[in-house]
Amino acid sequence: MLTFTTLASGSLGNAALVSCGDTHILLDAGISAKRISAGLRERGVEPSSLAGIFLTHEHSDHVSGLRVLSSKAGAPIYATGPTLWEWYKRNQCGQMRDLFQKQAAGSGMQIGPLWVESFPTPHDAASSVGYSITDGSCRLVLCTDLGWLSPEVRQAVKGCDLLVCETNHDEDWVRSGPYVYALKQRILGDYGHLSNETGAELAAQAVESGARAVLLAHLSQTNNTPARAYEAVCLRLTAMGCDPKRDISLSVAPADVPGAVFLLEKGGVRVLPREEAVLC
């Protein structure tokens, strides 16, 4: 059984846990090592038992806890070569270089029962990626931090069972909000972040090709709300004849606490609220 849960998801920090049996991998480490460790232990996972840490890119909201966590976990760190180099230049932590494992965008590798394959995402980072992860029977896709829906992104989400989909902002809120002009242009540009409407388009494509669950992620605390993101995606799914409350599971990842646990099995996706979740 493949399980997925976010430990945090938003503009202030991101990390998620994927498990299959005794194999556990962390996707990003953008909150403190203390919070990551607490979130892992809540799921019955010790940091030292991680089989790998996979980074999407080098921005601080995805790597801020990496240095301290790595000293505790000692797990291999997988990312593209440019991402690892950018992180190293900024941190100059020589002892961690032995943990670095380059994974070219678009390539895959076996980690226990998991096949972890990356795909390039258009973002203003050295070489950012999303991840497609399968245990052979079910597949989840993590797709955040991108400015538009490239062919590689559209291909990656086809046929997935669970899509973790960025709905970062409301475009009108960005334009009328407090950010300086340059930051507004970055967010709205082709190498920024997905709006609610563009995220909804990606969600619709995934559902049309068979996804049974969509988790909205990486919401801006300034330019969005969970209700607004959820409403935008609901409207798009309803327009294509899908009832988001009956036909699929549609939810929003919490920003600063661990979220629900998604259990992916043949025949569907079950969602356990945080307080009911147990390690499977």
**For 215-258, how does the pLDDT look when each residue is reduced to its tens digit (9 = 90+)?**
999 999 999 999 999 999 999 999 999 999 899 999 999 999 99
115 in helix, strand or coil? strand
Distances from the Cα of 274 to the Cα of 2, 39, 87, 209, angstroms: 16, 11, 32, 28
Per-residue confidence (pLDDT) for residue 92, from 0 to 100: 72
Q: Inform me whether the pLDDT recorded for 278 exceeds 60.
A: no
Please check the confidence at residue 194 and state whether its pLDDT lies above 60: yes
pLDDT per position as a tens digit, 84-99: 999 998 887 777 888 9
Look at the pTM and tell me if it is higher than 0.85.
yes
- Residues 132 and 160: beta-carbon distance below 8 Å: yes
- The dihedral built from the CA positions of residue 12, 25, 105 and 69, taken in this order, carries a sign that is positive
Mean pLDDT confidence for 2-31: 97
Q: Measured at the alpha carbon of residue 14, what is the angle toward residues 9 and 15, in degrees to the nearest 5?
A: 105
Mean per-residue pLDDT over the chain, rounded: 95
Q: Is the pLDDT of residue 170 over 90?
A: yes
Q: What pLDDT sits at residue 276?
A: 65
As given in the structure block, the two tokens for residue 227 are 């209700």
277 pLDDT higher than 80: no
The band of 59, judged by pLDDT with boundaries at 50, 70 and 90, is: very high
Contact 130, 153 (CB under 8 A): yes
Per-residue pLDDT tens digits for 114-145 = 999 999 999 999 999 999 999 999 999 999 99
For residue 245, give both structure tokens.
């409350």
Q: Which residues contact 145 (CB under 8 A, 6 or more apart)?
A: 56, 57, 59, 62, 121, 123, 125, 128, 166, 193, 218
Between CA 83 and CA 125 the distance in angstroms is 8
Tokens 């070219």 belong to: 104
- pLDDT of 67 above 90: yes
